[in-house]
Amino acid sequence: MVSCKGMKYERAIVGTLEKGLKKTPGLLHVVVGPRQVGKTTAVRQLCARMACPNHWAAADAPVPPRSEWIESHWRLAEMDAARSKKPVLLVLDEIQKVKGWSETVKRMWDETRAREIPLRVVLLGSSALLVQSGLTESLTGRFFLHRCMHWGWPECRAAFGWDLEQWLYFGGYPGAAVFADDEAAWRQYIMDAMIETVLSRDVFQLAPVTKPILMRHLFGLAARYPAQVLSYNKMLGQLQDVGNTTTLAHYLRLLEAAFLVSGLEQYSAGQIRKRGSSPKLIFWNNALIHAMSGLARRASMADGAWYGRIVENAVGAQLLNGLQGAEWSVTSWRDGNKEVDFVVQRGANVWGIEVKSGQVGKLAGMASFRLRYPAARAWVIGSGGIALDEFFQRDPITFFQ
């Protein structure tokens, strides 16, 4: 349970899960999100709320278990339900690590439902790509998906008393908050417990990675260019390993599936967007940038150009974390030397977003964008628009309704 100075903090997803399990007990409840953001903690808090018997198992081992692992724990939970004659909550963590997990879960769930065993099932996963592909392949109509994303500023402020500047630097990993007064220790924790763990246990298991060193170098390179548009050819020119643009694009997609860094496409209405030659690099959590860059907090905040980049990255991360689901699209836009930082699309609705962390300047890019797309609406975040603290303390969906 996340705690700070004697206070125990409970994320909103706990209440959402409790409501979902009570309202739709006939569905599997699936929680997907990055590592170390409190998915397991939230479900433990849920068990305390519901005061129900529960059975836990985690597949997060160096050697992934086989499908029999799921069946064994499922049978144990069924035995607990039969013995207690009460609903039992079965929690399977890092479910995507089990090969063929979705087929086994489907078979076991259908058997449990047919026998009317009062089993409630929550599945946790830290890979969006593997979890969602399994859900759509085998479990259509049997699940409800919950997203547990990186911590925003309001949560870090409530749990740790952080101001906006602290959150912009340290990001939103609750487990690292205890090291905030020792930047070297904080940086080492993020590098070892977060970045290395996610790369070795998640990313390299998503799909075959023939050049793991190249992927690590790509991740490090991206941390030097947060919130910047960088062509794949320029990336290749700065990487020591031999590769090609197709390999880099593939590796960037894997990093995105693990909630690390995304390469935003260029917006073009009415056309099928491709993973083009110049993605905009956005990290899902600012902690990843500062752990890799090695910049001290004071230096990071004092460097105007760098500060502008991390503010812009934080806005992009807020959009990626908050606008989840197939109906949302987050891209960027550029035409020559004119650009718009972000473009949000939902159905026929389009919004252009400019981020200003310094002095109020001209919005030539926005003017050009709206000339090209007259129906688009505009948001300016920061100087001359919505104050940064106002933007970061609100659910991003409220800006696009």
**Residues 202-249 pLDDT 10s:** 888 767 888 889 999 999 999 999 999 999 999 988 887 667 889 999
The answer, yes or no, to whether residue 108 has pLDDT greater than 50, is: yes
Contact yes or no for 126/33 (Cβ under 8 A):
yes
pLDDT-based confidence at residue 270 (cuts at 50, 70, 90):
low
pLDDT given at position 216: 92
pLDDT given at position 311: 97
pLDDT-based confidence at residue 296 (cuts at 50, 70, 90):
very high
Cα–Cα dist 384/382, whole Å: 6
End-to-end CA distance of the chain: 34
The answer, yes or no, to whether residue 251 has pLDDT greater than 90, is: yes
Please enumerate in sequence order all residues whose Cβ is within 8 A of that of 107, keeping only pairs 6 or more positions apart, or say none.
none
Cα–Cα dist 121/235, whole Å: 44
pLDDT given at position 5: 40
pLDDT given at position 208: 81
pLDDT given at position 86: 85
Cα–Cα dist 197/188, whole Å: 12
pLDDT given at position 256: 93
Please enumerate in sequence order all residues whose Cβ is within 8 A of that of 261, keeping only pairs 6 or more positions apart, or say none.
219, 222, 252, 255, 281, 282, 283, 284, 288
Mean pLDDT taken over the chain: 90
- Which residue is it, tokens 């967007």? 273
pLDDT-based confidence at residue 4 (cuts at 50, 70, 90):
very low
pLDDT given at position 271: 57
Cα–Cα dist 190/219, whole Å: 14
Contact yes or no for 156/162 (Cβ under 8 A):
yes
Structure-model confidence comparison of residues 277 and 122, the more confident one: 122
pLDDT given at position 329: 95
Structure-model confidence comparison of residues 77 and 206, the more confident one: 77
Segment 13-25, tens digit of pLDDT: 999 999 999 999 8
Token reading at 88: 């039992």
Structure-model confidence comparison of residues 321 and 238, the more confident one: 321
Q: Give the range among 26-35, 54-63, 218-227, 285-294 with minimum mean pLDDT.
A: 54-63
pLDDT given at position 99: 87
Nearest to 265 by CA among 254, 255, 284, 280: 280
How many degrees, rounded to 5, is the angle at CA 118 between CA 117 and CA 121?
105
Indicate if the alpha-carbon torsion angle 4, 42, 290, 162 is positive or negative: negative
The answer, yes or no, to whether residue 276 has pLDDT greater than 90, is: no
Segment 162-189, tens digit of pLDDT: 999 999 999 999 999 999 999 999 999 9
Q: Three-state SS across the chain?
A: CCEECCEECCCHHHHHHHHHHHHCCCCEEEEECCCCCCHHHHHHHHHHHHCCCEEEEECCCCCCCCHHHHHHHHHHHHHHHHHHCCCEEEEEECHHHCCCHHHHHHHHHHHHHHCCCCEEEEEEECCHHHHHHHHHHHCCCCEEEEECCCCCHHHHHHHHCCCHHHHHHHCCCHHHHHHCCCHHHHHHHHHHHHHHHHHHHHHHHHCCCCCHHHHHHHHHHHHHCCCCECCHHHHHHHCCCCCCHHHHHHHHHHHHHCCCEEEECECCCCCCCCCCCCCEEEECCHHHHHHHHCCCHHHHHHCHHHHHHHHHHHHHHHHHHHCCCCCEEEEEEEECCEEEEEEEEECCEEEEEEEECCCCCCCHHHHHHHHHCCCCEEEEEECCCECHHHHHCCCHHHHHC
The answer, yes or no, to whether residue 94 has pLDDT greater than 50, is: yes
pLDDT-based confidence at residue 2 (cuts at 50, 70, 90):
very low
Domains and CATH numbers, the chain: 3-147 (3.40.50.300), 153-400 (no CATH)
Q: What is the mean pLDDT of residues 134-153?
A: 89
Indicate if the alpha-carbon torsion angle 125, 129, 130, 131 is positive or negative: positive
Cα–Cα dist 117/174, whole Å: 37
For the chain, percent of residues with pLDDT exceeding 70: 93
The answer, yes or no, to whether residue 1 has pLDDT greater than 60, is: no
For the chain, percent of residues with pLDDT exceeding 90: 72
The answer, yes or no, to whether residue 332 has pLDDT greater than 80, is: yes
Cα separation values, 87 from 52, 71, 77, Å: 7, 18, 10
Q: CB count, 10 Å around CB of 200?
A: 13
